């Protein structure tokens, strides 16, 4: 439950770093998935062709999952990141596990154990310790504006993707084939939104090397690595337990920002990390 949130945290840090290169957010999201698909294509292309009938039959579900997890959960997040801070983004996405659990409990009547509820509360407490820098009163100073609403929309997309991945699963496919189909679907879904962005004047500077660094990193680490690990986690542990790992993202993002952005970690990071890990461990425990 550690690898996926670590890779997702890299997405947040690098996306914010890429903002200095003035990369349009929807182009960044589109380019990320297109490049990820192209990187997979040489190795996975023959297997995609062999399974073309299965993929064509499942294309509505592929586009649905890609639209939720690659489109809705990413595009608005990049838009919101231009107007809101990392703390706000982390707090909003920290609500995803609770929303996943709530959705499954209300819609599919999945029972919520005391252990899961307690673990969720512990994880939330750990996130708040990190985001408030150990001062709970600092949380009251956070302002939720337009950027936060975009991020909230992205978080809802991730919640729906997590649940849909379990409730509306794709046919049995090799992991790389499924990932390639979703990456291609993500680029396809985002293209109609990235095009008007470019027509409106928001065009990336293709002479800036930071554009290629950002796209390359986002295509390999968060796109290929994180999504593959998270899908495996959902399949093994279920949506609710898998989403609990998202509580680790704010902590990992803070630690990654130290060497990349010059933001050194502090004692409250260690305290929050301990509480978050305790919450994830409690939630992941199975009744004997």
The tens digit of pLDDT for each residue in 234-260 reads: 878 777 677 777 778 877 887 777 787
> Please, which residues have CB within 8 angstroms of residue 266's CB and are 6 or more apart in sequence?
133, 134
Distance CA 202, CA 205 (A): 10
Tell me the backbone φ, ψ of residue 279, rounded to 5 degrees. -65, -45
Number of domains into which the chain is organized = 1
- Provide the 8-state DSSP code for 141: G
Distance CA 93, CA 243 (A): 10
- Provide the 8-state DSSP code for 170: P
Which pLDDT value is given to residue 101? 78
Which pLDDT value is given to residue 235? 79
All residue ranges of the chain with pLDDT < 50 are none
Give alpha helix (H) positions in 51-174: 52-57, 59-66, 75-80, 86-94, 96-107, 114-131, 146-167
> Please, which residues have CB within 8 angstroms of residue 254's CB and are 6 or more apart in sequence?
130, 263, 265, 269
Distance CA 49, CA 56 (A): 10
Which pLDDT value is given to residue 214? 92
CB-based burial of residue 174 (10 Å sphere; 0-12 exposed, 13-18 middle, 19+ buried)?
exposed
Which pLDDT value is given to residue 125? 80
Which pLDDT value is given to residue 53? 96
CB-based burial of residue 201 (10 Å sphere; 0-12 exposed, 13-18 middle, 19+ buried)?
exposed
Which pLDDT value is given to residue 139? 65
Q: Sign of dihedral through CA atoms 40, 43, 49, 54?
A: negative
Q: Summarize pLDDT for 38-76 with one digit per residue, the tens.
A: 999 999 999 999 999 999 999 999 999 999 999 999 999
CB-based burial of residue 136 (10 Å sphere; 0-12 exposed, 13-18 middle, 19+ buried)?
exposed
Structural domain range at position 181: 3-284
Structure tokens at 130: 């990190």
- Residues 207 and 88: beta-carbon distance below 8 Å: no
Secondary structure class of 38 (helix, strand, coil): helix
């Amino acid at each position: 439950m550690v690898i996926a949130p670590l890779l997702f945290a890299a997405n947040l840090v690098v996306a914010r770093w890429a903002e200095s290169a003035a990369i349009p957010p929807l182009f960044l999201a589109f380019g990320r998935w297109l490049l990820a698909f192209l990187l997979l294509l040489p190795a996975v292309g023959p297997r995609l062709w062999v399974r073309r009938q299965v993929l064509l039959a499942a294309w509505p579900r592929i586009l649905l999952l890609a639209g939720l997890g690659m489109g809705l959960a990413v595009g608005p997040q990049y838009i919101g990141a231009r107007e809101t801070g990392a703390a706000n983004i982390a707090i909003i996405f920290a609500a995803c596990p609770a929303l996943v659990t709530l959705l499954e409990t209300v819609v599919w009547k999945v029972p919520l154990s005391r252990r899961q509820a307690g673990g969720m509360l512990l994880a939330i407490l750990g996130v708040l310790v990190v985001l408030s820098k150990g001062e709970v009163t600092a949380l009251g100073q956070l302002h939720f504006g337009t950027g936060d609403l975009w991020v909230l929309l992205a978080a809802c997309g991730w919640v729906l993707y997590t649940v849909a991945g379990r409730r509306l699963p794709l046919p049995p496919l090799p992991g790389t084939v499924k990932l390639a189909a979703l990456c291609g679907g993500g680029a396809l879904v985002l293209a109609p939104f990235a095009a008007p962005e470019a027509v409106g004047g928001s065009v990336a500077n293709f002479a800036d090397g930071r554009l290629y660094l950002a796209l390359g990193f986002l295509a390999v680490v968060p796109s290929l690595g994180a999504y593959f690990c998270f899908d495996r986690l959902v399949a093994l542990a279920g949506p609710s337990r898998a989403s609990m790992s998202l509580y680790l993202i704010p902590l990992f993002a803070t630690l990654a920002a130290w060497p990349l952005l010059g933001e050194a970690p502090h004692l409250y990071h260690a305290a929050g990390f301990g509480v978050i890990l305790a919450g994830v461990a409690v939630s992941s425990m199975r009744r004997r």
